[in-house]
């Protein structure tokens, strides 16, 4: 899949031309996103390897900006052209539109001139004239005060309404502002060695903010296993699980494996079974590939096993046939969710999410929790977690579990809900359930 995307981007962006750089790559990414609604992470995986350093960073920054502000850019473009342009021309216009939003009135002339000149190369001279005329009108519209908060912060109206009902208008505005800011990159330091100076300490022990301009070093250190790029919110569920040396732990929804590795690093000795659903037949699932890579970096004293299965559809015979434990000291269920707590990172989620998804996720989450609970030994514990800020996927799932017969042997020991506007990192919910002896 990544190779297909790479070839498409090279074709879309004119990669064979000497002018190919971050801006042209951003137009190519945007063109494919507009035409096919491909996932942002898949598109970025396919960026040509020849594009590196600042140009690669510029491509991602511009593309992310377009996706973040998509509905506001679309609203400003509406009615400015008699008929829809080629997708590539529209991609040029929305990339320029984001630059106009980002740069403000002082850079308007420069942004428009740059877009027109680039359009002559990536499109045609005639289309460059269209870009010139439309971009000038677009700049005026983008300078106007937005009509409502959903337009102002480029979020779906239904989602803003849902959050307003749940959190209130003032808090919703804080969440919207948070989501629209570029996300810092954090790293968890994994080894007993001095931390490089380009990793800035944070208020969360073990987590560092990555300073710009050191990506070659960061990649090297990550490949060597010295660090893992990870948001500090992940410490919440691992902290509640509190893995101990020598324990047997199941990570029940493990891919891509960042939390499995965190568990192993915390334990130092013991066993981690990392389970997740298999990918589509005949296709490479990059999440499972990364899970395997992450498990390979576990401390030598921790035995690891990767298992592909749907937690809800396997019984004890499945584990027995693979010579895996039938019960566990601790189970982490980091359940699939709406991702409403991580929209600063997963910038296209808001455009894919539908109102009915919350109930669908909650139903699946409760099924997974029931299945995971059956694997906890007497006296053991399970941590249920999500990267959602929505009560329907957090507190209400826990309530549903305790309202069922499956919740009988368990008690709620602790729970935490992180909100980005309060905690300064991704949103997350985590709940520790202890099973009686």
Helices 22-36/108-122 angle, 10° precision:
70
Nearest to 149 by CA among 175, 181, 131: 175
Q: Is residue 337 annotated as a catalytic residue, yes or no?
A: no
123, 237, 337, 387: the catalytic one is 387
Q: Which tokens go with 113?
A: 């001139």
Is the separation of the CB atoms in 193 and 221 below 8 Å?
A: no
> Tokens 């070659």 correspond to what residue?
216
Q: Tell me if the bond preceding 78 is cis, omega within 30° of 0.
A: no
Name the 3-class secondary structure at 124: coil
φ and ψ at residue 48, rounded to 5 degrees: -55, 135
Q: Which tokens go with 399?
A: 């309530």
| CA gap 241, 329 in Å, rounded | 10
Q: 285-303 b/e with 16+ CB inside 10 Å = b?
A: bbebeebeebbebbbeebe
Is the separation of the CB atoms in 419 and 225 below 8 Å?
A: no
> Tokens 């992470």 correspond to what residue?
41
Cα 114 to its chain centre, rounded Å, is 31
> Tokens 């490949």 correspond to what residue?
223
Half-sphere exposure of 138 (CA within 13 A, CB side): 29
Residues 6+ apart with CB under 8 A from 63: 25, 26, 29, 30, 33, 40, 43, 44, 95
Q: Nearest 10 degrees: CA dihedral of 16, 17, 22, 24?
A: -100
| CA gap 430, 334 in Å, rounded | 9
| CA gap 24, 175 in Å, rounded | 32
Active site residues: 387
């Amino acid at each position: 899949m990544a190779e297909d995307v790479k070839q498409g981007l090279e074709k879309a962006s004119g990669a064979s031309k000497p002018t190919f750089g971050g801006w042209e790559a951003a137009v190519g990414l945007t063109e494919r996103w507009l035409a096919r609604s491909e996932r942002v992470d898949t598109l970025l995986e396919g960026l040509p390897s020849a594009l590196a350093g600042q140009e690669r960073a510029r491509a991602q920054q511009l593309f992310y900006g377009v996706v973040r502000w998509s509905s506001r850019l679309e609203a400003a473009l509406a009615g400015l052209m008699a008929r829809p342009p080629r997708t590539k021309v529209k991609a040029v216009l929305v990339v320029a539109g984001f630059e106009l939003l980002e740069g403000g009135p002082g850079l308007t002339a420069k942004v428009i001139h740059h877009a027109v000149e680039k359009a002559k190369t990536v499109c045609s001279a005639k289309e460059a004239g269209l870009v010139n005329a439309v971009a000038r009108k677009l700049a005026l519209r983008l300078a106007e005060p937005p009509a409502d908060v959903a337009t102002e912060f480029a979020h779906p109206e239904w989602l803003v309404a849902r959050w307003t009902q749940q959190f209130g208008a003032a808090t919703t505005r804080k969440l919207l502002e948070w989501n629209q800011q570029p996300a810092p990159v954090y790293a968890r330091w994994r080894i007993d060695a001095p931390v490089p100076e380009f990793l800035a300490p944070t208020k969360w022990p073990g987590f560092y903010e990555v300073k710009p301009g050191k990506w070659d070093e960061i990649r090297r250190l990550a490949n060597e296993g010295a660090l893992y790029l990870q948001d500090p919110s992940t410490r919440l569920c691992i902290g509640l699980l509190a893995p101990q040396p020598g324990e047997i732990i199941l990570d029940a929804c493990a891919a891509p494996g960042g939390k499995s590795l965190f568990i192993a690093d915390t334990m130092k000795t013991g066993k981690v079974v990392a389970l997740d659903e298999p990918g589509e037949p005949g296709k490479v699932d990059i999440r499972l590939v990364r899970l395997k890579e992450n498990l390979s970096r576990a401390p030598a004293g921790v035995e690891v096993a990767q298992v592909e299965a749907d937690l809800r559809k396997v019984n004890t015979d499945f584990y027995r046939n693979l010579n895996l434990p039938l019960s566990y000291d601790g189970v982490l269920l980091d359940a699939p969710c709406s991702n409403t707590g991580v929209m600063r990172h997963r910038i296209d989620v808001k455009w894919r999410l539908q109102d009915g998804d919350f109930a669908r996720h909650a139903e699946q989450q409760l099924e997974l929790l029931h299945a995971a609970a059956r694997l906890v030994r007497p006296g053991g514990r399970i941590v249920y977690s999500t990267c959602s800020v929505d009560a329907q996927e957090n507190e209400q799932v826990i309530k549903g579990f305790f309202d069922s017969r499956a919740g009988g042997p368990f008690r709620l020991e602790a729970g935490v809900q992180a909100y980005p506007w309060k905690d300064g990192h991704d949103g997350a919910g985590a709940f520790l359930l202890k099973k009686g002896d």
